[in-house]
Amino acid sequence: MENQNTLNSKKTTQDLLPKKFGKRGVIWTAMLILLCLIGAFAYYRQLRYGLVVTHMGDYVSWGIYISNFVFFVAISLVGSLVTAIFRLGNIHWSTPLTRIAEIIAVSAILFASFIIIVDMGRPERLVNLFIHGRIQSPIMWDVIVISTYLVISLLLLYLPLLPDLKILNEQKEKNMGWWNKVYLFLGGFWKGNARQERINQKAVLILSILIIPVAFCIHTVTSWLFATTYRPGWDSTNFGAYFVSGAFLVGAGAVVIAMYIFRKIYHLEQYITEVHFDQMGRVLVLLALLYLYFNMNEYLVPAFKMKKAEEAHLVTLFTGDFAPMFWFSLLAGLVIPAIIMLFKQGRKPLPMFILGIMVVVGAWFKRYLIVTPTLLHPFLPMHDSPDRFRHYFPSWEEWAIAIGSLAGVLLIITFFVRIFPIIPIQETIVEQNATPEK
Amino acid sequence: MQKKDTSRRDFLLSGLLTGAGLAAGCSGKTAFTPGNAEQVIPSGEKVKLLSIDGEVVEVDKAFLKPVPDIPYPLSNGEERVGMPGKKFVMVIDLSRCKNLKKCQSACNHMHHVHPGQNWLKIYAMQDAEHTAPYWQPTTCMHCDEPPCVKVCPVDATFKRQDGIVLIDSDRCVGCRFCMAACPYSTRVFNWEKPALPEEIAGRDYSCETSVPQKKGTVGKCDFCPDMVRKGELPHCVTACPNGVFFFGDINEDVVTNGAETFRFSDLVRDKAGYRLMEDLGTKPSVYYLPPVNRNFKFEEGLKTEEQKTNA
Amino acid sequence: MQLLKNKAGLLAIYSLAFALSAKAQDAAVRTVLVDISYHMPVNRIPYLKVTAKEKTGRNFIPLKDIKGKVYIDEEAESSLLEEIQTDSKGESRVFIPAAFKAVWDASDSHRFIVVTGARDELEATQSELEVTKAKIEIDTAYKDGVRNIIVKVFRRQSGEWEPAGDAEVKIAIQSLLGNLPVGDEDTYTTDEEGIVSVEYTEKDLPGDDHGNYVIVARTDDHEQFGNIFAEKKVNWGVVLEPQDLLSGRSLWATGSRAPVWLLGLAFSIIGAVWGTLIYLFIQIIRMRKAGRTAV
């Protein structure tokens, strides 16, 4: 029995250790770097000529940078869902998914902060936030809560990684040259003794509890950037819950996509099983229904009253210029995936992968719909300002930066997978050893 | 209007002369102390002048200037506090407006607003299907509960003691939250490097003049505090040939458009003044007099719009 | 072809002629409008103001750096009060120097002459003004619950101050940017005694922090007296208690004046979360130590 376990552990370790990029991996990485470079060039142009390179104007003063920011913040919430809520709920099947969720959270939140700097007219004055910061401003709350969330997410990524770092440190010959030094620096102290185990477990438990309110804060505060104004479509008491529920949905969708890809490329069928997809499918249905509920609140209640200021906004969404996008994000990104996932066949890996993509794409457009149409419907009519300010379609620079930032998130995840085991090895071994006993 | 200016400076001068302890008998200090005029620093250089009765009076040269030098540039701290004891209001009489846009062009010219953008906008308003259309100029409302100031993360836009809401373009980070927060769409952004003559671009920035505007920061109507410090009216007020704009200090309860002067409370009471979007609770400092008994037909204002589109 | 050439030649001549005429027009002397006016604040020190402007289209443009000379009574070197140069507003002020005491006292009225020299294409000008010495006094009376403002205008006659009848005066309450007219009339005319009496009806007008405000009476470009004015501080106003906008705590105040509830809420949350995080960092250090000691 003991031998069997050791044998299993060895195989598991071999299966889950970081692997070199294959040909596809190299092409993928090169493509992401290229997209990032194009984005960087676009940002260079923006720094040089000012925000005039975007198609924003005095009315649509926030464009896809901000919707992209909201999207990133939303996706990052999944870290707290999978690692914290599931952990506290004593759900064991999610163990292989925790690190996937946590690295998505960390990379998304990093680029969320980056994109907000990109949106600033004077990024070099970022330091003013610390010199002249006003605690009354929701932006200040956002800065505080995002940096806090980043620290917590990093810790939640790091602490469970310690036992795996020991494994990596024990087989230096198989690792990439100088990364051994990094592994040693990060986890050299980890001997896996009882005292360390005890401290670590307690720390992870505290983090799991702490991250939940902070995660709620981060997205509620992000929603308040909008809800603290008077604008139709933003002036809503429903906004915090609406954003948080939507965030869990898109985050879970992103995890499903990542699960499928890692499973396929690294042949992890044994570790990320159909059961995982099935379970995630159930979770997604629940989250989709929750989000649908808040959507109803968000649109149906104002539409019932049709206050003058709200009317113009709602009509463009329901039947006007933004109707195709609105119905796409609502149906393809929410209703249809939820219905398909109700069936067992819909929760198989491939359909789940496709539905996950639909959810994430729908969610991205949903964020666009939250930001832009509202700004096109100010209280006073659009007047006495240049014609180009009365419409909004992002310029190539904005697309390049937005796509570049998405590529950046994927790049961080890609590199992470190359360097660290994406499925927690130690935890998997422990669970494996525990399961056959039953 | 010219005469008006003259008289105002006379008061100023009298205030200074008497304030310097020269004139006998008359009031010691005038009620009129625009900004920091009292801080005029004596040059030490005296001249001997004649009074009306032929007596010889010795006066410091510094007090003889038409407009005493305000110690500009004021420090950023002084500009953030504003003029003590004042609280500025504007009254816009909609019955007099025919969309001439003189206010707008004067404002754009004096503040070097980027071409195409306007701090002062004139809307063709029609509240409901069967109600009459009218022209509505809007400036910054300089709200007493300013939503823009609430959301600013760095104190770059702030409200002063005298009620004026200003922007410090040296501090603004360009997040544009204030633009999203303002329900009156009054704020504009410098999307690119402002097109300024070299002489203007080279000036030291002042929150009170809002000149020169800076790339990547927000701009808006500032109630021309630099003019008010000199005892003069904001540019839009003096530019309007129809006397639409009244400006004054609510603490004095007096507003003027340059040609006519009224008690603010009388004017707003007698003509049923109101403020825009009162229900939002922003408490604007700009009051509107309803477009009743109009001086012009609405249609007359359409000419300006046509000229603009043709141009 | 020939025709075309001719046309081109004609065009050349036309354009040449046009250019020449334009140049000729440029070289034409521009008319300068120079005006001299007399001012005397609070019956004290009189001065003259010279303004120079030019008319372009329908607008008057102030002319700066116009040089000139201002004389008293006659255009002679001995009567030269001051050499002037207009400022950016096209204005210049001239006071009566003490050296002219004898001339000033010699007559009840004086003639002032301003002469500007030609500059570039600006022509030379001359302008005159005749002024009779005059002054205004303000008095107040309170009778049967009614306040009256009594304005007296005097003129110099044979070295004595005599009442000036039939003089138009404006009476107002001084304010920051425009004066609030008193009573229903825009201007009042003095009677034979040189007196105007106006009933004061303004109620609850705010004064300064002591309830004071200033009544002013002035002549407005009077043909004989020029612009003279007097003022009188009265304690008729409501005591002003200016609102202190900046000292309170509010959501729109500066960062240092944030509401206490917000500060309490924010810092207790930040404190709790970061306190826990610091505790966790200490745990990491403890784990490192545990790794070193117990091998």
Q: What pLDDT, in 10s, does the model give residues A158-172?
A: 999 999 999 888 887
Phi-psi region of B179 (alpha: psi -120 to 50; beta: other; left: phi over 0): alpha
Phi then psi for residue A430, to 5 deg, are -60, -45
Output the pTM of the full model.
0.88
Q: Which of A106, A390, A424 is nearest to A254 (CA)?
A: A106
Task: Measure CB to CB from residue B174 to each of A122, A133, A228 and give the nearest one.
Answer: A122
Distance from CA of B50 to the nearest CA of C (A): 5
Highest mean pLDDT among A198-212, B60-74, B196-210: A198-212
The pLDDT assigned to A20 comes to 84
How does B67-96 read in b/e, with b if 16+ C-beta sit within 10 Å? bbebeeebeeeebbebbebbbbbbbbbbbb
Whether residue C268 lies within 8 A of chain A, CB to CB, comes out as no
10 Å CB burial of residue B7 (0-12, 13-18, 19+) is buried
User: Is B59 domain-assigned?
Assistant: no
Structural domain count, chain B: 1
Cis peptide preceding B212, ω within 30 of 0:
yes
- Minimum Cα–Cα distance from C252: chain B residue: B150
Higher pLDDT pick, C66 / B123: B123
How does C168-193 read in b/e, with b if 16+ C-beta sit within 10 Å? bbbbbbbbbbbbbbbeeeeebebeee
Please compute the mean of the pLDDT values over residues C245-261 and round it to a whole number: 92
Classify the C-alpha dihedral B63-B64-B67-B72 as positive or negative: negative
Q: Is the pLDDT assigned to residue A148 strictly greater than 90?
A: yes
- Minimum Cα–Cα distance from A123: chain B residue: B173
B156-175 residues touching A, CB cutoff 8 A: 156, 171-175
User: Is B47 domain-assigned?
Assistant: no
Please compute the mean of the pLDDT values over residues B279-301 and round it to a whole number: 94
As a whole number of angstroms, the distance between CA C293 and CA C147 comes to 97
Kindly list the residues from chain B whose CB atom is less than 8 angstroms away from the CB atom of residue A52. Answer: 191-192
Kindly list the residues from chain B whose CB atom is less than 8 angstroms away from the CB atom of residue A230. Answer: 147, 181, 183, 280
Residues whose CB falls within 8 Å of the CB of residue B57, separated by 6 or more in sequence, listed in order: B22, B48, B49, B50, B51, C44, C45, C98
For chain C, the structural domain boundaries read 33-131, 134-234
Kindly list the residues from chain C whose CB atom is less than 8 angstroms away from the CB atom of residue B49. Answer: 45, 95-98
Q: Which of B24, B63, B19 is nearest to C44 (CA)?
A: B24
Distance from CA of B244 to the nearest CA of A (A): 19
Give the confidence band of B16 by pLDDT, cuts at 50, 70, 90: very low
CATH number at residue B224: 3.30.70.20
The identity of residue B209, as a single letter, is: T
Structure tokens at B256: 């003027």
Kindly list the residues from chain C whose CB atom is less than 8 angstroms away from the CB atom of residue B87. Answer: 242-243, 245
Give the rounded percent of residues in chain A with a pLDDT score beyond 90. Answer: 76
Q: How many CB pairs below 8 A link B and C?
A: 184
Kindly list the residues from chain C whose CB atom is less than 8 angstroms away from the CB atom of residue A159. Answer: 284
CB contact under 8 A, A207 and C295: no
- Mutate which of A131, A135, A204 to test chain C, going by most C C-beta atoms within 10 A? A135
Give per-residue pLDDT as tens, C204-222.
899 888 889 899 999 988 8
Q: Is the pLDDT assigned to residue B18 strictly greater than 70?
A: no
Range with the lowest mean pLDDT among A95-109, A233-247, B27-41, C31-45?
A: B27-41
As a whole number of angstroms, the distance between CA A350 and CA A259 comes to 11
Whether residue B151 lies within 8 A of chain A, CB to CB, comes out as yes
Please compute the mean of the pLDDT values over residues C239-268 and round it to a whole number: 91
As a whole number of angstroms, the distance between CA A145 and CA A165 comes to 29
Kindly list the residues from chain B whose CB atom is less than 8 angstroms away from the CB atom of residue C213. Answer: 31
CB contact under 8 A, A193 and C291: yes
C-alpha of B102 from chain center:
15
User: Is B62 domain-assigned?
Assistant: no
CATH of span C33-131: 2.60.40.1940
- Which segments of chain B does DSSP mark as H helices, in order? 2-19, 76-81, 102-111, 147-151, 177-181, 198-201, 225-229, 235-239, 264-270, 302-310
Task: Measure CB to CB from residue C290 to each of A152, A199, A210 and give the nearest one.
Answer: A199
The pLDDT assigned to B188 comes to 96
Please compute the mean of the pLDDT values over residues A183-187 and round it to a whole number: 88
Please compute the mean of the pLDDT values over residues C93-106 and round it to a whole number: 87
* Residue A392 contacts residue A374 (beta carbons within 8 Å): no
Kindly list the residues from chain C whose CB atom is less than 8 angstroms away from the CB atom of residue B81. Answer: 246
Chain A touching partners, 3 or more CB pairs below 8 A: B, C
CB contact under 8 A, A136 and C253: yes
Whether residue B290 lies within 8 A of chain A, CB to CB, comes out as no
- Minimum Cα–Cα distance from B218: chain A residue: A121
User: Is B158 domain-assigned?
Assistant: yes
- Mutate which of B3, B9, B11 to test chain C, going by most C C-beta atoms within 10 A? B11
User: Is B19 domain-assigned?
Assistant: no
Whether residue A185 lies within 8 A of chain C, CB to CB, comes out as no
The pLDDT assigned to B9 comes to 45
Give the rounded percent of residues in chain B with a pLDDT score beyond 90. Answer: 64
Kindly list the residues from chain C whose CB atom is less than 8 angstroms away from the CB atom of residue A191. Answer: 290-291, 294-295
Whether residue A136 lies within 8 A of chain C, CB to CB, comes out as yes
Please compute the mean of the pLDDT values over residues C122-133 and round it to a whole number: 87
Highest mean pLDDT among A93-107, A352-366, C40-54: A352-366
Q: What is the mean pLDDT of chain A?
A: 92
Please state, as a whole number, how many other Cβ atoms lie within 10 Å of the Cβ of residue B219.
24
Q: Is the pLDDT assigned to residue B32 strictly greater than 70?
A: no
As a whole number of angstroms, the distance between CA C186 and CA C138 comes to 17
Kindly list the residues from chain B whose CB atom is less than 8 angstroms away from the CB atom of residue A134. Answer: 152-155
Find the helix or strand (DSSP H, E) in which A438 lies. none
Give the confidence band of C11 by pLDDT, cuts at 50, 70, 90: low
The pLDDT assigned to C277 comes to 96
Instruction: HSE, CB side, 13 Å, CA atoms: give it for residue B37.
Output: 31
Q: Is the pLDDT assigned to residue B182 strictly greater than 50?
A: yes
Kindly list the residues from chain A whose CB atom is less than 8 angstroms away from the CB atom of residue C274. Answer: 148
Structure tokens at C70: 């201002």
Distance from CA of A46 to the nearest CA of B (A): 10
Q: What is the mean pLDDT of chain C?
A: 85
Kindly list the residues from chain C whose CB atom is less than 8 angstroms away from the CB atom of residue B157. Answer: none
CB contact under 8 A, C286 and A199: yes
Q: Please state the length of chain A.
A: 438
- Mutate which of C254, C265, C280, C292 to test chain A, going by most A C-beta atoms within 10 A? C280
Strands (E), B26-127: 46-50, 56-60, 88-93, 121-125
- Minimum Cα–Cα distance from C255: chain A residue: A134
As a whole number of angstroms, the distance between CA A50 and CA B190 comes to 9
Whether residue C295 lies within 8 A of chain A, CB to CB, comes out as yes
Give per-residue pLDDT as tens, C255-288.
999 999 999 999 999 999 999 999 999 999 999 8
Q: Which of A224, A143, A71 is nearest to B173 (CA)?
A: A143
- Minimum Cα–Cα distance from B105: chain A residue: A384
Torsion angle (degrees, nearest 10) of CA A407, A409, A415, A416? -160
The pLDDT assigned to A30 comes to 96
* Residue C260 contacts residue A134 (beta carbons within 8 Å): no
For chain A, the structural domain boundaries read 2-437
Give the confidence band of B12 by pLDDT, cuts at 50, 70, 90: very low
Using DSSP's 3-state secondary structure scheme, residue C211 falls into coil
Kindly list the residues from chain A whose CB atom is less than 8 angstroms away from the CB atom of residue B185. Answer: 58-59, 378-380, 382
The pLDDT assigned to B21 comes to 36
Give per-residue pLDDT as tens, B257-279.
999 999 999 999 999 999 999 99
User: Is B227 domain-assigned?
Assistant: yes
DSSP string, A11-57: HHHHHHS-----HHHHHHHHHHHHHHHHHHHHHHHHHHH-GGGSS--
CB contact under 8 A, A207 and C280: yes
Q: Is the pLDDT assigned to residue B184 strictly greater than 80?
A: yes
Instruction: HSE, CB side, 13 Å, CA atoms: give it for residue B20.
Output: 22
Phi then psi for residue B21, to 5 deg, are 80, 30
Whether residue A384 lies within 8 A of chain B, CB to CB, comes out as yes
Regarding the domain with residue range A2-437, which homologous superfamily does it belong to in the CATH classification?
Formate dehydrogenase/DMSO reductase domain (1.20.1630.10)
* Residue B223 contacts residue B68 (beta carbons within 8 Å): no
As a whole number of angstroms, the distance between CA A23 and CA A436 comes to 37
C57-86 residues touching A, CB cutoff 8 A: none
Give per-residue pLDDT as tens, A418-429.
999 999 998 888
Whether residue A195 lies within 8 A of chain C, CB to CB, comes out as yes
- Mutate which of C262, C267, C273 to test chain A, going by most A C-beta atoms within 10 A? C273
Classify the C-alpha dihedral A161-A166-A169-A174 as positive or negative: negative
The pLDDT assigned to B28 comes to 31
Give the confidence band of B37 by pLDDT, cuts at 50, 70, 90: very low
Q: Is the pLDDT assigned to residue A188 strictly greater than 90?
A: no
Highest mean pLDDT among A194-198, B24-28, B90-94, B307-311: B90-94
As a whole number of angstroms, the distance between CA B260 and CA B1 comes to 10
Please compute the mean of the pLDDT values over residues C117-122 and round it to a whole number: 78
- Mutate which of B1, B18, B26 to test chain C, going by most C C-beta atoms within 10 A? B26
Can you give the residue range of the structural domain that contains B262? 87-307
Task: Measure CB to CB from residue C220 to each of B3, B81, B85 and give the nearest one.
Answer: B3
CB contact under 8 A, C242 and B87: yes
Task: Measure CB to CB from residue C178 to each of B30, B145, B256 and give the nearest one.
Answer: B256
As a whole number of angstroms, the distance between CA A228 and CA A232 comes to 11
CATH of span C134-234: 2.60.40.730
Whether residue C277 lies within 8 A of chain A, CB to CB, comes out as yes
Distance from CA of B57 to the nearest CA of C (A): 8
Whether residue A229 lies within 8 A of chain B, CB to CB, comes out as yes
Whether residue A432 lies within 8 A of chain B, CB to CB, comes out as no
The pLDDT assigned to B27 comes to 32
Give the confidence band of B36 by pLDDT, cuts at 50, 70, 90: very low
Kindly list the residues from chain C whose CB atom is less than 8 angstroms away from the CB atom of residue B253. Answer: 205-206
Q: What ipTM describes this predicted complex?
A: 0.91
Range with the lowest mean pLDDT among B18-22, B220-224, C230-234?
A: B18-22
